[in-house]
Structure 1
Amino acid sequence: MLERIFGGKEDRDSTLKELNKVIDYLSVAKADCNAALESGDYNRQQKCIKKICELYDEFNRLSINYLQFIALDNDPQTGLDEEENLIKNNRSTETFFAAFSLDVDDVTTQNNLNLEIYKAFFLFDLQKYRRALKSCESILEVDDSKDGIWTLKGQVLFQLGNFDDALDAFDSAIELEWHNVKAWIGKGLTLQAFENYNDALDAYETALEIDENNTLAIEGRDLVLSQLSQVRDESCGPGESLSEDNKSKPTIGLPSPDKESPQISDKVSFDKLPSREKREKRVFKRPFVKKKDDDKPKGFACVAGMLELKEILTRDVIKPLQNPENYKKFNVTIPNGILLYGPPGCGKTFIVEKLAEEVSYNFIKVPPSKIGSKYIHETSDNIAKVFTEAKDNAPTILFFDEFEALVPRRESLGAEGQFKNEEINEFLTHLNNASNHGILVVGATNQVNLIDSAVMRAGRMDKVILVPPPDPEARKELFRSRLSKVPQSDDIDYTKLADLTDCYSSSDITAIIEAAGRIAGDQELDEINMDLMTHVIENQRPSISKSQIKSYEEFSHLERK
C-alpha cells in the first residue's frame, strides 16, 4: 500500500485510468438496469444492481487513492477540480440508488465525507479560506470527532482573523486528541495574537513534550521567550527607554515557508515571567456544533402557492441539476439567467432563496448599494468582484434585487450614459459566462420596462417570468402557514380569509397577522380568533391596486417561461 501511495506520477495516472474505467462501467451498468426495469426482467435487474454496488465500492476506493496522490504531489488546484468531478459522479450514482430505494446511506455519506475532507485541505492550500471554513463546518456537522478537521478549522479561522473561534477550534482538537502537535502549535500562535505569552509558552512546550524535535514548536517557543524578555526590559523602571532592537515587533502566523507572518503589538501588562507551575491554565470546552435538522422543511416545501413558477423552476433548473446525464446528451443546461418581475411584496426574493436550498446552491443577494459608487469605473470593478465572489463560492445563485437600477435602458440615460454603458457591458460580459462557472444569475424587478434590451434577450436572461400576487389557494396556505406559528382559535376559516384578501400580496398577509398579534397582546388575549382577523383585514388596505396588477399584464409579450 505504501508503495502505491508514494509511487509518484505513474501510479497516479494509472489510478486515474482505473477510475475512469469504473465510471464508464457504472454508466453502462445503470443503463442496463434501467432497460431491465422497463422490460420487466426482475432477475436481470437484481444482477445489475449488485454489479452497480460492487462498482460503486471500487469507485469509492479509487477516488480516495487518487486524491491521495494529488495531495502528495502538492497540486491543490488539480485536486479541487478532480474532487468536484468525483462528487458529480457520486451524486449521479446516489440518485440512481434512491430511484431503486436502495439503502446505501452509510456508504454514500462516508464517501461524501471523505471527499469533503480532501476538498477542505485543497481549499486551504489554495488560500480560499472562507470556502475551506464552509467545508470544515459541513464535515463537523456530520462527524465532530475528527481532531484533524478541528485543527484545520482553527488554522482557517486564524487566517481570517477570527482568533476567538480559532482558539476554541484548536482546544476542541486537543480535547479529542491530546497528542495533536499541530493543534498545540496553532493554539500557541493564536494565544500570541491575544498577547497572552504565558499560555502561548505552555502550548509550545506541550507540543515539544509530544515531539521534541518539532521545528515550528521550537521557533514559536523561542519567539515567545524573546518577547517575554523584552517585556521585562520595558518594565525595568521609569525614565528608561527601549533599545532599537527591543522596539522591533515579534511576528506570528500559521507556519509557511514562503510567506512572512503578520505582526502583533508588543503591549503587555505583566512584569515578570512566573514559573511554569504557577501559570494559570485555561480550560476550554469544545464549541457546540449545531446538527442539521432534517425534519425542518426547506426548499419549495416552505413556499405557499406559486405553483406555476415552482413548476417552471423544477423543469428548467432542478431536474437538469439532479439528473445531468439525462439532459447532457441533448446538450441541455440550466438557464444562464432568470428574471422575475411583478408587484412588490409577492415573494420574488423568498422563492429564489428557497430555490437555492432546493438545489443546494450558495445564495448571494446583491442590493444596488453593494455595487453602485459615485466614483468613475468603481461600479464596474464592484460588478466584477461580485461575480468573482460567486465563482469562488460556486455553485451559487447570484441574486440581483432592483435589477433595473443595475442595467437600465441605455437610450433613456442622460449625461452619465457613457459610464453606465461601461457598467452594463461589464455585467453582460460576466453574465455570458456565468453558467460555465457554476453561477445562476437571477434578477428581480418591479419595473421590467426600464431594463436594457440587450440584457433581456435569450441567451442572457433566458427566462422572464411574472410573479403575480398570490391566488386564493396560495393566500389560504399563507394564512395557514403563518398562523400555525402563533396561538389561534378553532374558529379560524382559512377559505374566508383568502376570499377577504383579494389583491393582497404575501407581505400584506404577513403584516395582517403581525397586526392581529399586536392587538391580541395589547388586549391580553389567549389566542387570535376569526373576529380579530376580520377586523384587521377590514382596516388594512392592500398595498397593490387592481390597476397596478393589470399594468403588469401589458408586459406579457416579454415573458419566456
Structure 2
Amino acid sequence: MFERFIGGRKKSNNPFDEFNDPYSKLIQAIEDTQYYINRGNTSAAISAFKKAGEKFSESYELITDLINYQIEDGELQIALDSLVNIQDTYSTYYDLAEYFSIDLREYKQLIFAYLEILKGLLLIDMGKHRVAIKAFDNALELDDGNSTAWVWKGQALLALENSQAALGAFEAALRTDWHSADAWAGKGDALLALERADEAIEAYSTALELNDTEAELYFKQLVCLIALERYEDALKSLNEILKFNEDNAVAWYTKYIILDLLGEEQSSLIAQNKALKIDPNVVSDPFIEELNNAINTIEENSEDSPQTDTGYGFSDATVSSSNTERTPTSINPSSDAAVPTNTSDLTVEESKISPKPKKPIPYRKGSGENMGEAPKGFACVAGMEELKERLIRDVIQPLKNPEKYKKFKVSIPNGILFYGPPGCGKTFIVRKLAEELGFTFIEVHHSSIGSSYMHGTAQNIATKFQEAIDHAPTILFFDEIEGMVPKRENLSSSDSHRQEEINEFLTQLNNASKHSVLVIGATNQPDLIDSAIMRSGRMDKRVYIPPPDHDARKALFRNGLTDRPCASDIDLDELARLTENYASSDIALIAEEAARAAVDLDRDEIDMEILLWKVEEIKPSLVKSQIAKYRQFEHLER
C-alpha cells in the first residue's frame, strides 16, 4: 500500500544513512539557531537558520525512501516513530521561521498534510484503521483539496466495513480530482460492497479508462457482470485480463465458468484444462469463491434454476461425488506477459483431454448440507481425535467457561508449547484452534521481528503483544520459538542483547492471560528453549504433535485429491496403510505429484496406479529414529 502511494522506492544502498546525514545536520542547525537566539546573536542565528533550511530540503526529499526502507525490513513501529520524530523536528523549524517573520505557513500545511498521509498509510499497514482515519482527517484539515487523503480515508473506512462513509470519501476525492483512477476504483469497491453492482461497473470502467494497466479492476468488474448475468460482457473483460498474463490460472478457470454458463461446453472444457494445467489448485483461489457466491445468489433468486452436482469427492475407500468449500487465499492477477485471448489459441495437445460425465472441479455449491458455510475449526483437522479431545478438555473448555473453572480454582491456560517433528501440522492446528475458540489469530516468526537497531527487537516483541491485546481475545502464535527464547546459558558474551529480548518476552508472557491473550509457541527442538519459558504460569501446557495417524492420513489423502479428477479405484485405507510415519506435508506432496503425473501422462484422471507409484517414489521426510527422539521429551507433556 505504501509503495503504491509513493510510486516505488528509489534505488539506494542505504536510505537510512542518506537521510540521517542531512537530518542530523538539520537538528544541529536548529539547535545552533536556538543557541544564538538565546545569546542575542541575531546575525549568527540567521546564518544557522539558513543552513537549517538547506538541510530541511535535503532531508524532506528522502523521507519516503527512509520510511519505505524501514517498512521493507518489517520495522513498521520504528517507521511510525521516525515519522513522529520528523514531524516534531519540522514543527520546531517552522516555529523558528515564524520567529524570523518568514511566512512559510502555506508550505508548512502542504508538507504536514503529506506527512499525515504517510502516517495514515503506515497505520493501515499496521491494521490500525481508526487511527489511520484520524491521520487522514488531520491531513484534510491542513489541505482539504488533497484527493489522496480522501482516497485513503475511503480505503480505511472500507476496511472497517463502513461502506456508505467510504463512498462519501471517494466522491469527495473525485470532486477534487476527477481524473483520479484510485478514487474511481475505490468508489467501485464501495458500491460493490453496497450491492450496487451496476453502478460499480461504471466506476470501474472509468478507472480503467484512466489506467488500463490495473488488471485487478477487470477481476472486480467480472464479479459485477456475473452478478448482473451479463456473461458476454464478462467474457470480453476476461480476455482483457488474459492480455496481461496468458498463464493466469484464475482467468482461465473463470473463462471455463462463463463459457459453461453460456452453454459452450467444449470451449469451457478446453479453458478448464488450461487452468488446471497451470495450477491444479486454482479452485481454492478467493476470486473463485467470489464467483461461487455471485452464481449462488443468481440461482437462489431464480425459481427455475436447477441444482447442479458438479464435483468429485470421496467415500472412505473409493472416489464418489461431493463438493468442497475453500478458505480464501491471496491472488495476484497482474503480469507483463502478452497472451492469446480466445480458446482457439490453445494447442491441439491441450484440447485432447477427454471430458468426464461430471465436471471434476466444482464452481457451484451443491444441495443439502454442502449449502452451508465451509467447515471451520477442528472440523478441518483430519483424524488426530485424541489430540483434539485433549485440546478441547484442557484449553477450549477452560477458556469458554472461565467462571466454572475459577470456582474450583482450576487454572486457565496462560501459554501452550506445541512440539514435535517438522511438517506434522503444528501451525495448522493452532490456526484451527483459534477458529474453534473464535479468537483473533496473530502469527509471529522470529525473523519478522528481529531488528538491527539497539533495543529494536525487544520493542517489536512488546508491539506484537500490544497488537494481540488490542484485538483480544487473541491467540498469539510464535513459530520456531526456540529462535526467540534460546537457552541463555548457551549465549555468548556478544549476545547480551538477546538477554534483553528473552526478558521482554517473559515479562509480556506473564501478563498475557490477564488481557485475554493465549500465547502458543511451536518448536521442532524443545531442548533449545530457555528453561524459564517452561515454568508454571508461563507455558502451562505442553502438547506433543505427532505424525498423522491412520485416520488422519486417510483424511489428508481425501482432502488432497478433492477437486481433482479421480478414478473410482482409489483406496484411501490402503494409501493410509502404506504411508505410516509420513508427515502431513509428505502426503500433500504425494497428491500434488500424482496430479502432475496425470497431466504429464495425458491421463483423464488420477488413478490408484499413479498414487502407488508416487508413494513408492516419495519417501517420508521423517525416520523412525527421528520420531523416537521426541519420546525423551515426554516429561514435558502436561
Q: TM-score, normalised by structure 2?
A: 0.46
1:489 is displaced (CA, Å) by 1.3
1:502 is displaced (CA, Å) by 1.4
Secondary structure in 1 matching 2:542 = strand
Secondary structure in 2 matching 1:524 = coil
The partner residue of 1:162 within 152, 156, 160 is 152
Q: In structure 2, do the counterparts of structure 1 residues 395 and 191 end up closer, same or farther at CA, with 3 Å as the change threshold?
A: farther
Q: In structure 2, do the counterparts of structure 1 residues 529 and 330 end up closer, same or farther at CA, with 3 Å as the change threshold?
A: same
Trace 1:512-531 onto structure 2 (pairs within 5 A).
512-531=590-609
Q: In structure 2, do the counterparts of structure 1 residues 332 and 131 end up closer, same or farther at CA, with 3 Å as the change threshold?
A: farther
Does the Cα contact within 8 Å between 1:163 and 1:190 map onto a contact in 2?
no
- What's the CA shift string for 1:294-345, capped at 9, x where partnerless? 4211110000122222112111222223334432423445311100011100
1:171 is displaced (CA, Å) by 13
Secondary structure in 1 matching 2:597 = helix
State the match for 2:65 in structure 1.
none
Q: In structure 2, do the counterparts of structure 1 residues 171 and 340 end up closer, same or farther at CA, with 3 Å as the change threshold?
A: closer
State the match for 1:448 in structure 2.
526
Q: In structure 2, do the counterparts of structure 1 residues 365 and 160 end up closer, same or farther at CA, with 3 Å as the change threshold?
A: farther
Higher mean alpha-carbon deviation, 163-172 vs 493-502, is at 163-172
Trace 1:375-414 onto structure 2 (pairs within 5 A).
375-414=453-492
State the match for 2:586 in structure 1.
508
The partner residue of 1:423 within 498, 501, 515 is 501
Q: In structure 2, do the counterparts of structure 1 residues 339 and 193 end up closer, same or farther at CA, with 3 Å as the change threshold?
A: farther
1:187 is displaced (CA, Å) by 4.0
State the match for 1:306 in structure 2.
384
2:618 aligned with 1:534: no
* Matched letter for residue 375 of structure 2: P
State the match for 2:169 in structure 1.
186
Does the Cα contact within 8 Å between 1:394 and 1:439 map onto a contact in 2?
yes
State the match for 1:11 in structure 2.
none
Trace 1:140-159 onto structure 2 (pairs within 5 A).
none
- What's the CA shift string for 1:96-136, capped at 9, x where partnerless? xxxxxxxxxxxxxxxxxxxxxxxxxxxxxxx99946779xx
- Tell me how far apart the structure 1 counterparts of residues 175 and 405 of structure 2 sit (CA, whole Å): 54
Secondary structure in 2 matching 1:346 = coil
State the match for 2:535 in structure 1.
457
Q: In structure 2, do the counterparts of structure 1 residues 410 and 545 end up closer, same or farther at CA, with 3 Å as the change threshold?
A: same
2:516 aligned with 1:438: yes
- Tell me how far apart the structure 1 counterparts of residues 505 and 157 of structure 2 sit (CA, whole Å): 41
- What's the CA shift string for 1:444-466, capped at 9, x where partnerless? 00000000000111210001111
- Tell me how far apart the structure 2 counterparts of residues 335 and 381 of structure 1 sit (CA, whole Å): 25
Aligned length: 324
Q: Any stretches of 5+ residues in structure 2 without a counterpart?
A: 1-122, 132-147, 184-209, 211-220, 228-288, 294-326, 328-370
* Matched letter for residue 186 of structure 1: A
Secondary structure in 2 matching 1:515 = helix
Secondary structure in 2 matching 1:162 = helix
State the match for 2:297 in structure 1.
none
Say what the alpha-carbon RMSD is for the aligned residues: 3.8
1:368 is displaced (CA, Å) by 1.3
- Tell me how far apart the structure 1 counterparts of residues 590 and 597 of structure 2 sit (CA, whole Å): 11
- Tell me how far apart the structure 1 counterparts of residues 565 and 636 of structure 2 sit (CA, whole Å): 44
Does the Cα contact within 8 Å between 2:476 and 2:518 map onto a contact in 1?
yes
State the match for 1:81 in structure 2.
none
- Tell me how far apart the structure 1 counterparts of residues 176 and 394 of structure 2 sit (CA, whole Å): 50
Secondary structure in 2 matching 1:433 = helix
- Tell me how far apart the structure 2 counterparts of residues 425 and 385 of structure 1 sit (CA, whole Å): 15
The partner residue of 1:323 within 401, 407, 412 is 401
- Tell me how far apart the structure 2 counterparts of residues 183 and 469 of structure 1 sit (CA, whole Å): 48
Does the Cα contact within 8 Å between 2:477 and 2:521 map onto a contact in 1?
yes
Q: In structure 2, do the counterparts of structure 1 residues 485 and 169 end up closer, same or farther at CA, with 3 Å as the change threshold?
A: closer
Does the Cα contact within 8 Å between 2:384 and 2:551 map onto a contact in 1?
no
1:520 is displaced (CA, Å) by 0.4
Q: Percent identity?
A: 53
1:162 is displaced (CA, Å) by 3.2
* Matched letter for residue 528 of structure 1: I
Trace 1:356-375 onto structure 2 (pairs within 5 A).
356-375=434-453
1:359 is displaced (CA, Å) by 1.0
Does the Cα contact within 8 Å between 1:170 and 1:184 map onto a contact in 2?
no
Q: In structure 2, do the counterparts of structure 1 residues 171 and 327 end up closer, same or farther at CA, with 3 Å as the change threshold?
A: closer
Q: In structure 2, do the counterparts of structure 1 residues 160 and 354 end up closer, same or farther at CA, with 3 Å as the change threshold?
A: farther
Secondary structure in 2 matching 1:442 = strand
Does the Cα contact within 8 Å between 2:541 and 2:637 map onto a contact in 1?
yes
State the match for 2:32 in structure 1.
none
The partner residue of 1:485 within 563, 570, 584 is 563
* Matched letter for residue 451 of structure 1: I
* Matched letter for residue 566 of structure 2: Q
Does the Cα contact within 8 Å between 2:420 and 2:524 map onto a contact in 1?
yes
- Tell me how far apart the structure 1 counterparts of residues 621 and 159 of structure 2 sit (CA, whole Å): 49
Trace 1:20-419 onto structure 2 (pairs within 5 A).
130=127, 162=152, 165=155, 186-191=169-174, 294-332=372-410, 334-419=412-497
* Matched letter for residue 496 of structure 2: Q
1:486 is displaced (CA, Å) by 1.4
Does the Cα contact within 8 Å between 2:398 and 2:405 map onto a contact in 1?
yes
* Matched letter for residue 635 of structure 2: H
* Matched letter for residue 448 of structure 2: K
* Matched letter for residue 381 of structure 1: Q
Does the Cα contact within 8 Å between 1:478 and 1:506 map onto a contact in 2?
yes
